[in-house]
Amino acid sequence: MNEPVRVLHVFGRTGRGGAESRMMDLYRAIDRERIQFDFLVHASASGTGRTAPSSDELMAVRPADDFDAEIRALGGHIYALPRMSFSPGKTGIIAYQNACEKFFREHEGIWRVVQGHMTSTAALYLASAKRSGVPVTIAHARSAGRDPGIKGVLTGILRRPLGDESRIVRLSGGGRAPLVDHRFACSREAGEAVFGKAGARVIPNAIPVEAFRFRADMRERMRSELHLENCRVIGHVGSFRYAKNHGFLLRSFQKLQERTGDKSLRLLLVGNGELYEQTQADACALGIREQVVFTGSRGNVNDLYQAMDLFAFPSRYEGVPGSVIEAQAAALPCIVSDRITPDVDVTELVHREAIGDTVTGITQAQQRWADRMEELLASNGDAGERTRLSDRVGSSLAEAGYDAVALARRMERFYLTGELS
């Protein structure tokens, strides 16, 4: 039997982030006898004593991440590049570029496709991949925004070559090749944000729809485990970082509690990230810490949706948030930010609200979110109604292209033939 085609996916890490989770959904569903995935992640070089360490040196000091064991069990390999930084003594742009060149030179001939989901440095590592002889390079836009400040400015500059359709790479043998063969994006907005006028093929952030369908027995089990019996639960799933806007959600929840005086209200926050401890501190400062449940990163997110009565998602920017798709599959009413692509509005369960711009506007928006959350909580049906709704919603999501199994069949054909239906 022929060896499978190997595809290298480039991420920041293999944790339970949105893009990483969607790629794992695809990996589980794809025909791994024909297609195999490997992962190239980014790790701190500080433990190696070098600014441009090898993949082996980085992997020796890198802590294990959420999906590592499963990737290896499915037949994939994990490699690492040093995380680029503009701080003195860290891996600067030259050292990072040298590490990319060394990595792809040492692993020449392994991959037919290199797909870069981490677009901030994709112009550098995709160029190295091309110079090493990789036939196909893909830049995949996963977000429609970027962080504020100097970090966001630098990201914009580094991404610029990805949208230049005339950008070529000079090969060692004297030939020339395009830097990017295919541009993918999870939404039109994400494609425009990263590639500008170059355009991109939209690849839906598909999920295993069946795994998220509402189950009354799991609802009771999870509410018991989390001590949420007889509670009205507003939930959020996402990494704790600037884009997700947890502070806005905390203040909206506080206003809802002040307005209703309902002691049964709970806010269930699922995920981890750089602002996790700060968000806990904010909940304490707002006097609502006892009503906010922090679960950390969990491998059974599909079960946690069952415990919720309402899903709230006030992001500042996104690509296509898979968690909003997941919440709909679980038949949850969703209140989402007006900054999020309308691509997620697959069913009538999605309700949009502005999050504001000015200080006054944000405060007023938080009150409107509190009002809408109260309204949506009051309109919830019983378990039987939610089960019937989940069945209908699942079909709608599949028809809209959000089923991971169907997407896996499309991507198999693309990786094998270059054709994408």
pTM, 2 dp: 0.87
pLDDT reported for residue 143: 85
pLDDT reported for residue 90: 81
pLDDT reported for residue 289: 97
Structure tokens at 130: 């091309």
pLDDT reported for residue 174: 81
In three state form, how does the secondary structure of 182-218 look? EEEECCHHHHHHHHHHHCCEECCCCECHHHHCCCHHH
Mean pLDDT to the nearest integer, 97-119: 96
Specify the fold of 209-399.
Rossmann fold (3.40.50)
* Residue 228 in this model has a pLDDT that exceeds 80: yes
- CA 421 to CA 409: how far, in whole Å? 10
- CA 193 to CA 275: how far, in whole Å? 24
The percent of residues in the chain predicted with pLDDT above 70, rounded, is 100
User: In CATH terms, are 5-206+403-417 and 209-399 the same topology?
Assistant: yes
pLDDT digits (tens, 9 = 90+) for 303-322: 999 999 999 999 999 888 99
* Residue 88 in this model has a pLDDT that exceeds 80: no
| Sheet order of strands, 350-353 included | 292-296, 265-270, 232-237, 310-313, 334-337, 350-353
Bridge partners (DSSP) listed for residue 265: 232
* Residue 373 in this model has a pLDDT that exceeds 80: yes
- CA 45 to CA 198: how far, in whole Å? 34
CATH superfamily, domain at 5-206+403-417: Glycogen Phosphorylase B; (3.40.50.2000)
pLDDT reported for residue 371: 96
Per-domain residue ranges of the chain: 5-206+403-417, 209-399
pLDDT band for 1, please (50, 70, 90 cuts).
Answer: low
Mean pLDDT to the nearest integer, 84-113: 92
Higher pLDDT, 293 or 150: 293
pLDDT band for 260, please (50, 70, 90 cuts).
Answer: very high
Mean pLDDT to the nearest integer, 372-398: 91
Structure tokens at 270: 């699922």
* Alpha-carbon dihedral angle through residues 102, 151, 343, 368, given to the nearest 10 degrees: 160
Please answer whether residues 244 and 269 qualify as being in contact, where contact means their C-beta atoms are separated by less than 8 angstroms: no
pLDDT reported for residue 128: 97
pLDDT band for 2, please (50, 70, 90 cuts).
Answer: confident
pLDDT reported for residue 259: 92
Amino acid at 84: M
Please answer whether residues 310 and 332 qualify as being in contact, where contact means their C-beta atoms are separated by less than 8 angstroms: yes
Q: How high is the mean pLDDT of the chain?
A: 94
